[in-house]
Amino acid sequence: MNYLEELNENQRVAVENIDGPTMVIAGAGSGKTRVLTYRIAHMIHKGADPFNIMALTFTNKAAREMTDRIAEIVGDGEARNITMGTFHSVFSRILRFNADRLGYPTNFTIYDTQDSKSLLKEIIKGFNLDEKAYKTGNVLGRISSAKNNLISPEDYKNNLNIQKEDQMAKRPEMTRIYRSYAKRCFNAGAMDFDDLLYQTNILLRDFPEVLSHYQQKFKYILVDEYQDTNFSQYLIVKKLAAVYENICVVGDDAQSIYSFRGANIQNILNFKKDYPDFKLFKLEQNYRSTKNIVQAANGVIARNKDQIKKTVWTDNSEGDKISVIRTLTDNEEGKVVINKIYDKSKSEGISYQNFAILYRTNRQSRTFEETLRKLNIPYKIYGGLSFYQRKEIKDLLAYFRLTANPHDNEAIKRVINYPKRGIGKTSLQNVIIAANQYGVSFWDVITDFATYPVDINAGAKNKMTEFATMIQSFSAQLNQLDANILAHEIAKTSGILKELHSDKDKGPEEVERYQNIEELISAIQTFVANQADGESKSLSEFMMDVALLTDADEDKGTDKNHVTLMTIHSSKGLEFKHVHLVGLEENLFPSQLALNSRTELEEERRLFYVAITRAKSTCTLSYSNSRFQWGNLITCEASRFIDEIDDKFLTFETPKRSAGRSLNKRKSSYNTPFTGGLNKSFTSKSLKPINKIESRSSIKGSSEIDVKVGYNVEHDRFGRGKIIKLDGNGSDRKAVIFFPNHGSKTVLLRFANLKILDL
């Protein structure tokens, strides 16, 4: 296939220039992934050895998709030889090959956030510190920030600025916590996510022969989403590319939105300082969105000072203007948005998978969920509880983790008495105290009570010994059996299957837990089946894949026909035909926490830019005049970001549901133009006429109004229709109404709240 013919001129030039430092600035919807994929294929076509190519992507899912696309061009064998994946997945494998140099076991455990918080909670409690002052989330964030900036516990202790910050935050014991956390992770043979990059930097710094080996191996380095890299990632890439400087970074500074995770936009803005002879290519043609959406987004992002200038354009149609909806309350906003989705889906025959509701914070989802459920519209919230974070899944995974690494303290704490085997909390706590006293893992203690005396009774010791013997039997089979067979054995022998099976008749939640275990076993079976000849099919390999999963990597199920709800941060890299961006209010979006400096405000504006550019066909912005926060009703004003969009790209709507219900109380609000904090007027031309609506009567009950066949009415959900049949009497009176967009519907008059249009 002639893949170059599928590219536009700018894309083709970026693909063909494969030597030397290169930066590709890719505007939203400009075909970035295609360029990255075809560039790798072109390298191989021009003679580059796939074994010498490393490509770092945003998600493992993206890496798999790119590998498949490259395989279509150069063949499956060549594509599989490329080192491709996220920073964490690629460098975790490098760490496993070199773990002994750093004093870690090859099968070290990767702690997730829940594991880290559990350990920190134990440390904080052990130090008798105030748990309110030392909240585990804040403490973990502080440690994460230190690691991302390559600050060791010792460096942390000696940094006067850091110590001053901790004193001001009334957390003077942070140094002690950080030191203990690092030591406890090391003793347990565990790394957290930040360690995967932190320890890689240590490995490349302290072992020159390792650095040299990988510099020679990775002669070509490609980094996707470079604007989202942190200092630790930046240093790794810079070291590895130092010899050949065949480094290509792809990204868009206008979509840098992860500073709260340590991402540093200066990495992409200063690329030219690191590589003065670099080549710059700009991908400016947007293939995703309409002209109105693209030009509106351009106008907003142009207000940022820190950026690489580009002009995104499109050959797509003009499209609809961006709609702006003002509602009186956040609850009304939920109803209006969902009814708008419902009406558009039914009237235009659009499936629900084409709609997305994006918000600044997860807590905003409630009002939309309530209306979705009432209308029986399928929906899915992304960023909620992950499948691999469910209790029953984490319980079985803890057994898997112990099989690979018996020194995993968090796994021992989780399952040493699950299913129940008579090991009490006090006995376990005494083991923890002994392990910390001797500076060893819990496993060392429970397998050698003679060396590490513990104040527990003989019965508890025997049960712990039996538990350890069971884990040792699993470990002995780790490299003998494939993941599928061993997983079945562990699930059965540990007692988890029996425990959950006995719960099957207790209710739907118990049944679901058992089914989730079945789903996990199926996932392992699929993993084994998909491993190529020569690739490891062990449980250790499966566990490494699971530990490195991101929310975007997880299988969301086969039923895709649902409305998507997610934060704007989670939506990055995705696209939808119809986007509703909700909660556009000052102090919510932009966030009140991001108004302290121009730098913070510019990141919020980039987040707004990302949200708008997810839309392909239509984009709707909504905000409310009032919102409940912490039980209090607060008055809101429209976000400044709406005001930053040129009027010619906007149209202003009056909510149908608000206009049709209880208008007598709100008449003044809808009769006068409103600005809602905007520097633009909502004139009478932008509002739908309401004088006719105000004169309508409502059917409160069958005895109040004598409705007749032939009357024209309006229903909250189905819109205008005509009564074609009446049945029943009194409170049971029903009407059959024909609605042009929905067909015939039978409604109970006392609940229908119809508006009669003929009176």
Whether residue 229 contacts residue 263, with contact meaning beta carbons closer than 8 Å, is answered with: yes
Whether residue 584 contacts residue 621, with contact meaning beta carbons closer than 8 Å, is answered with: yes
76 in active site: no
Question: Which one of 229, 255, 403, 620 is the catalytic residue?
Answer: 255
| Chain position carrying tokens 């112990």 | 402
Type of residue numbered 694: E
Q: What is the DSSP letter of 689?
A: P
Question: Which one of 11, 22, 33, 295 is the catalytic residue?
Answer: 33
Question: What ranges make up the beta strands (E) of 288-370?
Answer: 322-327, 355-359
Closest to 621 in 3D by CA, of 320, 397, 407, 177: 320
592 in active site: no
Q: What is the Cα 28 distance to its own chain's centre?
A: 19
What is the Cα–Cα distance from 241 to 226, expressed in whole angstroms? Answer: 14
Closest to 620 in 3D by CA, of 346, 384, 338: 338
Crossing angle of helices 160-168/174-187, nearest 10°? 110
> Residue 612, SS3?
helix
Question: Which one of 11, 22, 32, 253 is the catalytic residue?
Answer: 32
614 in active site: yes
Q: Omega of the bond prior to 419 within 30 degrees of 0, cis?
A: yes
598 in active site: no
Crossing angle of helices 208-217/193-206, nearest 10°? 100
> Residue 520: how many CB atoms within 10 A of its CB?
21
| Chain position carrying tokens 């020569």 | 534
742: exposed, middle or buried (C-beta count within 10 Å: 0-12, 13-18, 19+)?
middle
Of how many residues is the chain composed? Answer: 759
Structure tokens at 190: 């565990």
Structure tokens at 532: 């190529």
What is the Cα–Cα distance from 564 to 513, expressed in whole angstroms? Answer: 25
Beta bridge partners of 746: 736
Q: Omega of the bond prior to 406 within 30 degrees of 0, cis?
A: no
Whether residue 617 contacts residue 577, with contact meaning beta carbons closer than 8 Å, is answered with: yes
| Chain position carrying tokens 């920190």 | 120
What is the Cα–Cα distance from 617 to 608, expressed in whole angstroms? Answer: 17
224 in active site: yes
Type of residue numbered 512: E
What is the Cα–Cα distance from 640 to 631, expressed in whole angstroms? Answer: 25
H-helix segments, 502-632: 508-530, 539-547, 568-571, 598-612
Q: What is the Cα 560 distance to its own chain's centre?
A: 18
Please state, in angstroms and as integers, the Cα–Cα distance from residue 309 to each residue in 235, 312, 314, 550, 641, following that order.
Answer: 26, 10, 17, 32, 20
| Chain position carrying tokens 């009186």 | 328
Crossing angle of helices 60-74/32-45, nearest 10°? 40
Question: Which one of 39, 69, 413, 614 is the catalytic residue?
Answer: 614
What is the Cα–Cα distance from 83 to 54, expressed in whole angstroms? Answer: 5
513 in active site: no
What is the Cα–Cα distance from 405 to 408, expressed in whole angstroms? Answer: 6
| Chain position carrying tokens 């710059």 | 280
Question: Which one of 194, 224, 253, 604 is the catalytic residue?
Answer: 224
Q: What is the DSSP letter of 736?
A: E
What is the Cα–Cα distance from 656 to 675, expressed in whole angstroms? Answer: 19
Catalytic residue positions, numbered: 32-33, 224-225, 255, 614
